Amino acid sequence: MRKLSTAWLLEPQRRQAVAIPRYDRAQTGIGIVHIGPGAFHRAHQAVYTENAMNRSGGNWGICGVSLRSSDARDILSQQDLLYTLAILDKSSRYQVIGAIREILVAGEQSDAILARLSADTTRIVSLTITEKGYCLNADGRLDLAHPDIAADLDNPGRPQSAIGFLVEGLRLRRASGLTAFTVLSCDNVSGNGTKLRTSVLDYARQIDGELANWIADCAAFPNTMVDSITPKTEDYTIASVSDAIGAQDNWPIQREAFTQWVIENNWSGDRPDWEGVGVVFTNNVEGFEKAKLRLLNCLHSTLAYAGSLAGFATVYEAASDSRFRQFISDLAREEIIGSFEAPGELDIERYSESVISRFLNPEIRHQLAQIAWDGSQKIQMRLLPVIRDNLKLQRPTRHLCLALASWFEFICLALRAGREIVDPMAAQFARMPALTDRDAGNVVNGFLGIEAIFGDDLIHNPLIIRQLTDSLDSLRIGMARGQSIADILDKRTRDVQIR
Residue at which a domain ends, from 225, 251, 283? 283
In sequence order, which residues have a C-beta less than 8 Å from that of residue 234 and are 6 or more positions away? none
Collapsing DSSP to helix, strand or coil, 107 comes out as coil
Residues 490 and 404 in one domain: yes
Residue 171's pLDDT is 98
The 10s digit of each residue's pLDDT in 19-68 is 999 999 999 999 999 999 999 999 999 999 999 999 999 999 999 999 99
Q: What is the mean pLDDT of each run of 10 residues along the chain (499 residues)?
A: 92 79 96 97 98 98 96 96 94 95 96 98 97 93 97 97 98 98 95 97 98 98 96 92 95 96 94 98 95 96 96 96 95 97 95 96 91 95 97 97 97 97 97 97 98 96 97 94 85 60
Residues 219 and 326 in one domain: no
Residue 61 in domain = yes
> How far is 491 from 133, CA to CA, in rounded Å?
46
Helix H or strand E segment including 226 = strand 224-227
Residues 435 and 321 in one domain: yes
Helix pair 192-207, 209-218: axis angle to 10 deg: 150
Residue 494's pLDDT is 65
Residue 402 in domain = yes
Residue 1 in domain = no
Residue at which a domain ends, from 245, 260, 283? 283
Residue at which a domain ends, from 260, 283, 306? 283
157's torsion region: left (phi>0), alpha (psi -120 to 50) or beta? Answer: alpha
Residue 498's pLDDT is 45
Residue 439 in domain = yes
Residue 167 in domain = yes
> How far is 244 from 15, CA to CA, in rounded Å?
9
Residues 365 and 253 in one domain: no
Residues 181 and 291 in one domain: no
Residues 105 and 177 in one domain: yes
Residues 214 and 351 in one domain: no
| CATH code of residue 351 | 1.10.1040.10
| CATH code of residue 47 | 3.40.50.720
Contact, 251 vs 76, CB < 8 A?
Answer: yes
Residues 328 and 424 in one domain: yes
Q: Tell me how crowded residue 164 is: count the other CB atoms within 10 A of its CB.
A: 26
In sequence order, which residues have a C-beta less than 8 Å from that of residue 296 and are 6 or more positions away? 227, 355, 358
Residues 212 and 330 in one domain: no
Alpha-helix residue ranges (DSSP H) falling in 155-284: 162-175, 192-207, 209-218, 235-245
- Beta-bridged to residue 97, according to DSSP, are 83
Residue 322's pLDDT is 94
Residue 17's pLDDT is 76
The 10s digit of each residue's pLDDT in 121-134 is 999 999 999 999 99
Residue 187 in domain = yes
Domains held by the chain: number: 2
Residues 313 and 221 in one domain: no
Domain that holds residue 345: 286-498
Residue 92 in domain = yes
Residue 103 in domain = yes
Residues 370 and 409 in one domain: yes
Contact, 301 vs 258, CB < 8 A?
Answer: no
Residues 275 and 304 in one domain: no
Q: What is the pTM of this model?
A: 0.90
